[in-house]
Amino acid sequence: MIPELGHFALILALCMALLLASVPLLGTFTRTPAWVALARPLAWAQFVFLAVAFAVLTHAFLVDDFSVLYVANHGNTKLPEIYKISAVWGAHEGSLLLWALILGGWTMAVSLFARNLSEEMQARVLSVMGMVSIGFLSFLLFTSNPFERIFPVPVEGGELNPLLQDPGLAIHPPMLYMGYVGMSVAFSFAIAALIGGRLDAAWARWSRPWTLVAWMFLTVGIVLGSWWAYNELGWGGWWFWDPVENASLMPWLAGTALVHSLAVTEKRGAFKRWTVLLALLAFSLSLLGTFLVRSGVLTSVHAFASDPARGLFILMFLMLVIGGSLLLYAVRAPEISRGGGFAGVSRESLLLSNNVLLVLMTALVLIGTLAPLLYDALGWGKISVGFPWFNSMLVTFMPLMVVLMGVGPLTRWKQQEPGELVRRLRVALAVSIIAGLAVALPLLGDSWSLGLALGLSLWLLTTLLIGLRLRLRAKGGIGGIWQDFAGRGGRSYYGMWLAHLGVAFFILGITVATQFDIEKDERMSPGQSVELAGYDIRFEGVSVVQGPNYQAERGTLHLSRDGVEFAVLHPEKRVYQVQRKPMTESGVDAGFMRDIYVSLGEPLPNGDWSLRVYYKPLIRWIWFGGLLIAAGGLLAASDPRYRLRHRRGASEGVVPAGGVA
Amino acid sequence: MRAARKKRLYLILLIVAGVGVAAALALNAFNQNLMFFYSPSEVSSGKAPPGHAFRLGGLVTEGSVKRLSNGLTTRFEVTDMDKTVSIEYTGILPDLFREGQGIVAHGKLRGDGVFVADEVLAKHDEKYMPPEVAAALKDSHDKGVAAGAKEAGL
């Protein structure tokens, strides 16, 4: 009976979405306040029904209700509680329900927190979000109902994919979805503004914090995914250029461009059309990502067993969203005013270059991801685009972007006198070139790539410090920092500062971890030792241990340096009882400067094992950098100026378009 | 205003030129980095380029997995149910590698016709078959059916 309640709640949520998408929007045209005012209660009702549906599915997992097909396939009585909950989104139907729930959550958040919006604008934004919701809810109900029953009821469930039984993966999808779906807010703001024909600096100020928060979640989601892959896939990789990873990277790149372009639109009223286009692009890429994951059209480690009907549905939805929004854009774009002009050397032009580079990278990732589909469709053969291509693209464009990234924040809006800029930058330039060359030259470091990475990171760091010094001087010394923090615009600046610092860590982490890692595949007998980068790793053998729902062969390795033992690692090879699937659980001794990573290979005769041992210097910096970037986004979104009340936003909103510059 | 327009035009031209060069470089590099997929039948008939890296996929033949004496090199065969190719791989095989499983290997052909793999992929879902492998199996199956039909005089 309870699962039917969930199904029913889902249907009601769809009804709410249908009303939300139509009534308030019509109300804004017919000027019927009662219809417009319905937007908020409808958004809340939709969220409540979705929450009920989600709670029902979670309950079904917790009480092992195997009469529900989805639970029978992915639940199990022996699953630990936390994985019973994460199993809710461990496969197709449930993860879509989570997607819909999060969309409902974002819709409700907009109805609650976007109070600085005019009533009319808010109603339109909510209506557009309702339209997106219709798409996902009908997808759920018509092709992937998570509440479908099965008879006869099996006694035991099929269990959650063992690979997903990991704390990192329990929270990775919700984070990623918060990001993906969050992009729908920026999208809805853009569409609502296009419908209303009013795109101005106020619109950018409204969208900015929402976009920043969504982008922050996307960043955290990607970082978690990468960290999970490193821990669970057993070969020490942290990024695979897998289509599904690319699917999350593309909206991230477009979102990054959007975050920067919104800054220009807010401050200077420029780039309006471009910003709108980016908002449409970022969400369309999120949808494309969903299509790629759910339809199974691409070879991927993430691919679920595919179902053509689902793929077709998403493809049509995708075309409707992209086609519809671009059509609206085409109709409305000529009415959008140009922003203020700017000189060749100015922050605007630097941010424009940043945007061009980011969009170029997005396009390259898109080409690399879709090329196999295209080649196959045209009968040119079955191809895959290798690692080296993506990497070489990254290495080509990242340095250029990082150089600009150092200059941008030190450049004035509108026009910058080049001489002054050079004076500001000369110390940073000298430091980074000298340090980079020192490491690159044969006498000292003899590593071209490390020299480049070090130079770029130092460039970022020094330019950030110079910028901080200039800002603090203007704010009255180091004591002014707190006041600056509490005031308008301060946290935006420090958020940028933190995020750019994150990039510096990221670059060094990536370079050192890939260029200086040491990997050894060894055959080891119990008691035998192997030397790795000055560390001594002693293999003590393998014993069998029993987990809650798996049996594991558990290795014991002692790590020591200069005869002093400092860690014991226990990599495991698990076999989960239900699916009989082998799984590698690596043993990692994590450190800020280096990881020692061990995974068990296969048993060999005489109690020997093949083992894989890695030394990974600075690998944590990659994720640490990513988290700094996310923290910067969050800090910037918390800027008090985004919480100014309605009156101010509205009064700015009526400034005739074009008058903002 | 005129000067500003001119400046903007230069800026746009500069960006267009930059993007053009970048795109040309990217596409050139792209062609060099394509990894083609071949089925065991295609490899046996000499379609795969010698000395060039490519991907080879199929089912691991039952009973073919042998470990060489150093303990880390494995030799096995993959088949599309028509032809088989031997693969040699040094290192640790993925968890889901086993006989009868669909895999994709990534490497080069050696002079003696053995495919030396530097990477072996087995997908993490057992029910999931790499699409290339599924297509290769289907191709050889269709061929088999066609040949059978011909023999039967149909």
Q: Mutating which of B25, B34, B106 best tests the A interface, going by the most A Cβ atoms within 10 A?
A: B34
> In B, which residues are within 8 Å of A356 by CB distance?
15, 18-19
Q: How far is CA A435 from CA A317, A356, A427, B14, in A?
A: 52, 29, 12, 31
Query: Looking at this protein, which amino acid is placed at residue A598?
Result: V
Distance from CA of A386 to the nearest CA of B (A): 6
Residue A310 has pLDDT above 50, yes or no: yes
pLDDT of residue A295: 61
State the complex-level ipTM: 0.73
Distance from CA of B67 to the nearest CA of A (A): 9
Residue A163 has pLDDT above 60, yes or no: yes
Average pLDDT, stretch A544-564? 91
Residue in B with minimal Cα distance to A353:
B15
How many domains are contained in chain B? 2
Comparing CB atoms, the residue among B7, B36, B70 nearest residue A344 is B7
> In A, which residues are within 8 Å of B72 by CB distance?
521-523, 610
Residue in B with minimal Cα distance to A365:
B26
Residue in A with minimal Cα distance to B71:
A523
Indicate whether B142 and B113 sit together in one domain: yes
Residue A296 has pLDDT above 90, yes or no: no
Comparing CB atoms, the residue among A301, A341, A389 nearest residue B33 is A389
pLDDT in tens, A473-510: 888 777 777 888 888 888 999 999 999 999 999 999 99
Residue A658 has pLDDT above 50, yes or no: no
Residue A430 has pLDDT above 50, yes or no: yes
* Mean of pLDDT over chain A: 87
Indicate whether B26 and B11 sit together in one domain: yes
As separate numbers, helices (DSSP H) first and strands (DSSP E) second, chain B gives 3, 7
Q: Computed from CA positions of residues A531, A535, A540, A542, in that sequence, does the dihedral angle turn out positive or negative?
A: negative
Instruction: Name the residue among A607, A414, A600, A625 with its Cα closest to residue A506.
Output: A625
Q: Residues of chain B whose C-beta is under 8 A from some C-beta in A?
A: 4, 7-8, 10-11, 15, 18-19, 22-23, 25-26, 29-30, 33-37, 55, 67, 70-72, 90-96, 104, 123-128, 130-132, 135
Residue A64: CB partners within 8 Å, gap ≥ 6? A71, A75, A76, A77, A157
pLDDT in tens, B140-152: 667 655 444 444 4
Indicate whether B22 and B84 sit together in one domain: no
Average pLDDT, stretch A629-634? 96
> In A, which residues are within 8 Å of B55 by CB distance?
384
Comparing CB atoms, the residue among A234, A382, A393 nearest residue B36 is A382
pLDDT in tens, A9-37: 999 999 999 999 999 999 999 999 999 99
Quick one: DSSP state of residue B92? Answer: P
Distance from CA of A417 to the nearest CA of B (A): 15
The CATH number assigned to the domain holding B111 equals 2.40.50.140
Instruction: Kindly indicate the confidence band of residue A299, based on its pLDDT and cuts at 50, 70 and 90.
Output: low
Residue B63 has pLDDT above 90, yes or no: no
Indicate whether B111 and B123 sit together in one domain: yes
Q: Which domain holds residue B15?
A: 1-34
Candidate from A5-14, A99-108, A397-406, A573-582 with smallest mean pLDDT: A573-582
Residue A464 has pLDDT above 90, yes or no: yes
pLDDT of residue B98: 80
**Top mean-pLDDT range of A125-134, A418-427, B126-135:** A125-134
Which phi and psi (to 5°) does residue A52 adopt?
-60, -45
pLDDT in tens, A255-264: 999 999 999 9
Q: What is the pTM of this model?
A: 0.89
Average pLDDT, stretch A52-64? 95
> In A, which residues are within 8 Å of B92 by CB distance?
235, 521, 599, 601-602, 610, 612
pLDDT of residue A523: 87
Indicate whether B8 and B75 sit together in one domain: no
CA A532 to chain centre: 34
Residue A115: CB partners within 8 Å, gap ≥ 6? A645, A646
How far apart are the C-alpha atoms of A437 and A446, rounded to whole Å?
Answer: 9
Judged by CB atoms closer than 8 Å, whether chains meet at A163 and B124 is answered as yes
Residue in B with minimal Cα distance to A350:
B11
Distance from CA of A224 to the nearest CA of B (A): 19
pLDDT of residue A126: 96
Average pLDDT, stretch A640-653? 55
Judged by CB atoms closer than 8 Å, whether chains meet at B96 and A581 is answered as yes
User: pLDDT: is A133 or A151 the higher one?
Assistant: A133
Half-sphere exposure of A200 (CA within 13 A, CB side): 18
Comparing CB atoms, the residue among B7, B34, B91 nearest residue A521 is B91
pLDDT of residue A276: 92
